[in-house]
Each structure stands twice: as structure tokens, then as C-alpha cells.
Structure 1
């Protein structure tokens, strides 16, 4: 369990670092457009790290299921080797589909050379092309990458930016905190810390 939480924290930290530098550059510079090549690079890393979080959450769900419904066989069913195989398997499967997506996008004809946001989403990228990106759309549909909550197409840029910040920065930072607070040892340490602070203030 702690092995998976540790890996989830690492993946969330990397995922947040994909968007934060571009967001800071977007806030500090006068030019708000991201060049097309930078968009492809950011999209590659986002599509590489994002699905790995899904694999880890699925492994953690299985871990919780076995711990609750079959605690006597937990050590044999959820071994360190199994967790390692899940992580290595996701590290083999995810890069292939991500690289295929990026290679297909790089060969399309581009009408516009930049996105006026700090995060390059697939839906924004597909709007830049003059040619029809049928293969990319089919690949994204089969992998379920467009099945997430986002504002409607008619929504304002401000609302879309807020949604992007929430899903790329806030959620990755909250995941390790939530899973850590469910740990009894962490809860006990927090209680001791708050009781010491209360005693010192008296």
C-alpha cells in the first residue's frame, strides 16, 4: 500500500510540474501563445504521466478490495512483486500509445502556430489543424482520453482555464494528502502535534 502511495505521489508531482512552468511563463510574459513544438512536448509528457496515475489508482483500488474482503490472503495476493509488475506494465503500455498519438499529430498540416493557453489539451491541439485528424480522434476515442469533465465549447476562456488549473494542479496535490490522512499513523502524529501546540499555547 505505501509503495503505491509513494509512486502516486511521485506521479502527481511530475504531472503538476508539466504545467506549472508554462503557467508561470504565461502569467509573466506579454505573449500568451505557446509555440506548436512546445505544445507537442507538453502534450507528450501529459499523456505519458496522466494515464500512469489511472493505473496506480486501479492498483490501489484492488489493494483496498483485497485488504477488506480477503485480509487473510492479502500478503499472497498483493505482493510487492505484483505492484512492481503493474507499474512496469503501465510504463511499457503508456509510452507506445502516447508516442503514436504525438507522431500522428506531428505529421498533420497546421493552420495556426500557437495556443493561447498554458496547457495544451488534445481538443485544443486538434483545432489547430487544417487537415482532418481522423486517426488521432479515433485513437483518443478508443483510449477514452476525451472522457473527462471540462467546460462546454461555448464556455468562456476564464472558466476553461480554472478547470485546467483544478485538474492539473489542485487534484495532483490533494491526492497524496488525502491518502496520507487516511493512515492511522499519520492521524496519530497530527493529533500529537495539535495537542502539543494546544498545551504550549496555555
Structure 2
């Protein structure tokens, strides 16, 4: 397992400059603290302490643990969205058999299979990152991610990059294709109904889930399918921030809108705001 020396802060990324490094320094979203970002972090998490303090170092072991958790939990969200897409498909296309098809046993099996895939994927990336040789410990990010870690390696790890992007793409693509296929079937079923009531019911069933799918996968597409350049690095950090902070915050809000009491309360609040404005 390779470690990084704090003294090697201006590397030439040459194999001969490699030394043992014990920690990484998270440079955050930018050199200047963004007050809006700090406010959002304070409201949503009250942690990510490095954004509010000058002590931004994280140990090598902690960085690898964070990388493992990031991949396992982050990818698990995509697989749960896929499982929920199947739930919506059965609810819209085969509502009479919903209780018989979507059983507790099936749900547990889908979750267990998803965890097996994402943990294996996260472990692969973590082992590869732990065995890289690093020439710097100044990580241009606000948490440990595989792409900025690859940029700190002394030599360009072509094999590691190939495995990272190939496996990562397949793990991301699988739930996306499944969700897409489910909504194609849902769209066909709704089109056959040819009724406004059927369309409203489908939107009520799938609206919240579809909103989160579009938001989550559009961000993932941006982060993984655009050319790397120095001009886009800062933008990538802000987009990643939205993905890891704003999207989880919106999750309970979006899904709770299906609750009639919550929707009624929001309408009342909206009317009060409009009344005050007048």
C-alpha cells in the first residue's frame, strides 16, 4: 500500500519522485470559501468539516475508506432507483398482480444482489487506488474520489484507468438501461389506454421517481461523458457537490410531494407567501 509525503506538494509526476505518503490534503471546491456552499453544508449535513476549517488533511486509510463508501453507497442509489423502476412498471402495467409480484422476498433479493455488485465494484477501485504511487498529496477535491487520485499518481496508470472507466461504466449503465426499459414499457402501456385518467394515474405513480432518475443520471452523465480540461475541473467540483449534497436533500422532499397532506400544506404556504407579496 502506497502512502504520500506532505513535502511533495509540487510534483513533476515522475516515477523517480515517488515517496511514501501518509495523508492527503483536500483543497475543497476552491481556494476561496464560497459562503453559499458553506451555508448549504451547514443546513444539510453540519459536517464536511474541512469546508469550514483550515485543517483539511485526511489520513491515507481514511481516504481509502471514504473512497470505498463513496462508490458503494453512490452506486447503490442507482440500483435502488432501478428496483423502484420495476416497482412502478408492475404498478402501472400489471396492477392486479402487484401484491403477488412485488413481494418482500423479491425486494430483499434485489437489494442483496445490488449490494453484492456495488461492494465488489467499490472494493476493486479501493484496492487499485491503494496500490498507486503518488507524487503529491494535494487532492483537488472536497472528498476522496478515484479521478483526482489518478491525477496524483507518479505515472499514468493506463491499466488502472482502463479498468476504472470500463467497470465503472458497466456498473452505471446496467441500472440506467433497466430503468429506461421499464419506462419504455410504462409509456407503451399508458399510450394504449388513451385516457386522461390513465395518464394522470401513471404520472402520480411515477412522477417523483422519474424526477429523481433524471436529476441523478443527468449529473452522472455530465461527470463521466465530457472531455477533461482545466476549464471544467472547477465546474466538475460544483456539479459533484450538487450530486452528493443537494440530490440527497431533495430526495425526501420530492417523494413526500405524493403525500396529500404535504401537498396541501405546501399549497397553503404558497398562498400565504403570495398574500404577503400583495
Fold shared by both chains (TM-score > 0.5): yes
Deviation at 1:131, TM superposition (A): 3.1
Deviation at 1:102, TM superposition (A): 0.9
**TM-score, reference length from structure 2:** 0.55
Q: For 2:93, which of 43, 59, 69 is the aligned residue? A: 69
Q: Tell me how far apart the structure 1 counterparts of residues 115 and 52 of structure 2 sit (CA, whole Å).
A: 33
With over 3 angstroms needed to count, the CA separation of the structure-2 counterparts of 1:131 and 1:37, relative to structure 1, is: farther
With over 3 angstroms needed to count, the CA separation of the structure-2 counterparts of 1:135 and 1:54, relative to structure 1, is: same
**Higher RCO, 1 vs 2 (CA within 8 Å, ≥6 residues apart):** 1
Q: Is 1:55 matched with 2:128? A: no
In the alignment, what sits opposite 1:92? Answer: 116
Q: Tell me how far apart the structure 2 counterparts of residues 85 and 56 of structure 1 sit (CA, whole Å).
A: 12
Deviation at 1:90, TM superposition (A): 1.5
Kindly tell me the number of residue pairs found equivalent between the two proteins: 179
- Structure 2 gaps of 5+ residues are 1-43, 173-219, 274-278
**SS of match in other structure, 1:28:** coil
Tell me if structure 2 keeps the 8 A contact 1:47–1:98. yes
- Structure 1 gaps of 5+ residues are 1-15
Q: Which runs of 4+ in 1 moved over 6 A?
A: none
Q: Tell me how far apart the structure 1 counterparts of residues 167 and 116 of structure 2 sit (CA, whole Å).
A: 18
**TM-score, reference length from structure 1:** 0.73
In the alignment, what sits opposite 1:143? Answer: 168
With over 3 angstroms needed to count, the CA separation of the structure-2 counterparts of 1:168 and 1:161, relative to structure 1, is: same
With over 3 angstroms needed to count, the CA separation of the structure-2 counterparts of 1:85 and 1:184, relative to structure 1, is: farther
1:103-162 deviation per Cα after TM superposition (whole angstroms, max 9, x unaligned): 122112111123032122221111011133233323322331786313752326543332
| Structure with larger Rg | 2
**SS of match in other structure, 2:230:** coil
Comparing 37-46 and 71-80, the one that deviates more:
37-46
RMSD (Å) for aligned C-alpha atoms: 3.1
Q: Is 1:44 matched with 2:68? A: yes
Comparing 152-161 and 91-100, the one that deviates more:
152-161
